[in-house]
Amino acid sequence: MAGIYQQVKSCQFETVQLDFQKTTWFEANMLAMLGAVMESAWTNEFRIVNLGPEQERIFKKTRYSYFGGESLPDRYQTTVEYRKSKVSEIGSFEKYLENKLLAHLEMPSMSALLRKKIKESILEIFNNAKMHGNCEFVFSCGQYYPKKGRLDFTIVDIGNTIRKNVRDYSGRDVSGKKAIEWAVSECTTTRKGNIPGGLGFTLIREFLRKNSGKIQVASANGYWYEKEFNSNSEDLSDFFG
């Protein structure tokens, strides 16, 4: 996906064809990233071709906007609806989290207080897109795999990278992966003054550890993930941003 982003970001007023002929499967949560890529090159006309019937059904179940509002009912709740949110609409995004993600039947059982704290943590990440990313939109989508008992949810923005913000804040020439490692650490933030922040990842990481989940973060050329108590990071050849 980073490769596609690099290819299209410099295009203007062209027709860009996304050919899915050799794609056997496309995870619904990755529509958040695809939506962000298409938004980054919004002056172009995008055409999705050779999309398999099953993939097209999944796309339409999420209400992915490329299909002009055409959608299919998601009777078995195997997706979390695709959404393009303005960063100024945090109240609307909060309702989306409550109704589409946290109310999903396959979310792990949790107390009302924990549910509230998880929501606040995700909203903190959403708010970072406005305060740190300096972007206009946030893209989100998810998919549930009944046989695996796994729920994937992705949030994407196309604003300033974590690396840029950490470099600007610290004055150090840190790599993409080191910037992410710093950002996901407890009680770290690039916010200035008496503005609270830095708690978005902490509770989510703890929640995922206890439920054998996994978290992944990609920004600039950095990639970091954690599964249970094992984490790893690397610098990639392709850049997000």
Q: pLDDT per residue over 17-64, tens digit each?
A: 999 999 999 999 999 999 999 999 999 999 999 999 999 999 999 999
Q: Give yes or no: residues 215 and 101 share one domain.
A: no
What is the model's pLDDT at position 193?
Answer: 47
Q: What is the pTM of this model?
A: 0.90
149 & 189 share domain: no
The residue from 124, 159, 194 where one domain ends is 159
Whether residue 180 contacts residue 128, with contact meaning beta carbons closer than 8 Å, is answered with no
For the chain, what is the radius of gyration of the CA atoms? 18
Residue 120 predicted with pLDDT over 70: yes
pLDDT, position 241 = 65
In a domain, 22, yes or no: yes
Lowest-confidence region among 96-105, 161-170, 190-199: 190-199
Res 189: pLDDT: 61
Contacts of 90 (CB under 8 A, 6+ apart): 123, 126, 127, 130
Q: Which two tokens stand for residue 15?
A: 């027709």
Note whether residue 130 is domain-resident. Answer: no
Claim to verify: residue 151 and residue 167 sit in the same structural domain: no
Chain segment 88-115, per-residue pLDDT in tens = 999 999 999 999 999 988 888 889 999 9
Question: What proportion of the chain, given as a percentage, has pLDDT over 90?
Answer: 68
Contact 117/203 with Cβ under 8 angstroms? yes
More confident site: 198 or 37: 37
C-alpha–C-alpha distance, residues 94 and 91, integer Å: 5
Residue 195 pLDDT: 41
Residues 1 and 106 placed together within one structural domain of the fold: yes
153 and 170 co-located in one domain: no
Domain end call among 144, 159, 174? 159
- Residue 133 pLDDT class (50, 70, 90 cuts): confident
User: Alpha-carbon distance 208 to 214, whole Å?
Assistant: 6
Domain count, the chain: 2
Same domain, 139 and 110: yes
On whether residue 111 sits in a domain, the answer given is yes
CA distance readout (Å), 165 to 15, 220, 241: 33, 11, 12
Identify the domain containing residue 176 by its residue range. Answer: 160-241
pLDDT in tens, 203-237: 899 999 999 999 999 999 999 999 988 999 999 88
Q: What is the mean pLDDT of residues 69-98?
A: 92
